[in-house]
Structure 1
Amino acid sequence: MNFLEFKDYIEMNSKAYKVFITKAAKYQIDKNNKRSKYKKWRVEQINSKIYFMWNNVIAKLYNDVFESKGRKVRTYKEWVNYLDKKKTIKKFDKSISKLKFR
């Protein structure tokens, strides 16, 4: 499973995506509201930052899973079985639900 397949799988099978995007949007909007009039970001910039943040989170998760499973798991189905066995989605959902931005 490559990174994009992994990202799609997490987004389709996890509650974390919607929760993270909602929390990150609130954080970025609050942060933007504190900026001076001339330094405020456009909506496109805020959205870009939110998705950049999400991609960083997913990249970290992907690398953690990749390192923990080793090279023995190669096919898409093997990855899915590994994620299920380790309850990765459930743990990820739980950690994102507890996430707080400062």
Structure 2
Amino acid sequence: MTINEFLEFLEKHLSNYNLFIEKSTEYQLEKNKKRTPKKRWDEKKINRVVNGMWKSSMQVAYDKVKSEVGVPRYDGYEKWTDFIEKNDLLEAINNSISELEFE
């Protein structure tokens, strides 16, 4: 599973994915208010940064699964999803997101 496939899987299966996007967007909007008017980011830039925050936050989980499962030639997607289910990774990520605070 590639990082993009992993992110897509999480976006479809995490109940708190939208909560992460909301929290990180609010955080970026607050930071944006503190910038001088000429240096403020537009909505496109904020969305790009929020997506980057999502990807970098989930990179750790991806690397963990990759080190455990590897990148199998056959049935790789199924092996990854089996590992994710057996180790309650979705629940752990959901819990982390609900406790997440940006500073």
Same fold, judged at TM 0.5 (above): yes
Residue 50 of structure 2 corresponds to residue 50 of structure 1: yes
Q: CA deviation at 1:70?
A: 4.2
Higher mean C-alpha deviation, range 20-29 or range 58-67: 58-67
Identical residues among aligned pairs (%): 31
CA distance in 2, matches of 1:36, 1:93: 35
- 2:21–2:54 Cα contact (<8 Å) kept: yes
Q: How does 1:58-77 map to 2 (within 5 A)?
A: 58-67=58-67, 69-71=68-70, 74=72, 75-77=76-78
Structure 1 residue ranges, 4+ long, deviating more than 6 angstroms after superposition: none
Q: After TM superposition, give the deviation of residue 36 of structure 1 in Å.
A: 1.4
The SS at the match of 2:6 is helix
Matches within 5 A, 1:1-102: 1-67=1-67, 69-71=68-70, 74=72, 75-102=76-103
Distance 1:29 1:47 in 2: 10
Which TM-score applies when normalising by structure 2? 0.89
Q: How many residues align?
A: 100
Q: TM-score, normalised by structure 1?
A: 0.90
Q: Which runs of 5+ in 2 are unaligned?
A: none
SS in structure 1 of the partner of residue 101 of structure 2: coil
**Equivalent residue letter for 2:58:** I
Please give the per-residue CA displacement for 1:71-93, whole angstroms capped at 9, x wherever unaligned: 3x731111111100000000000
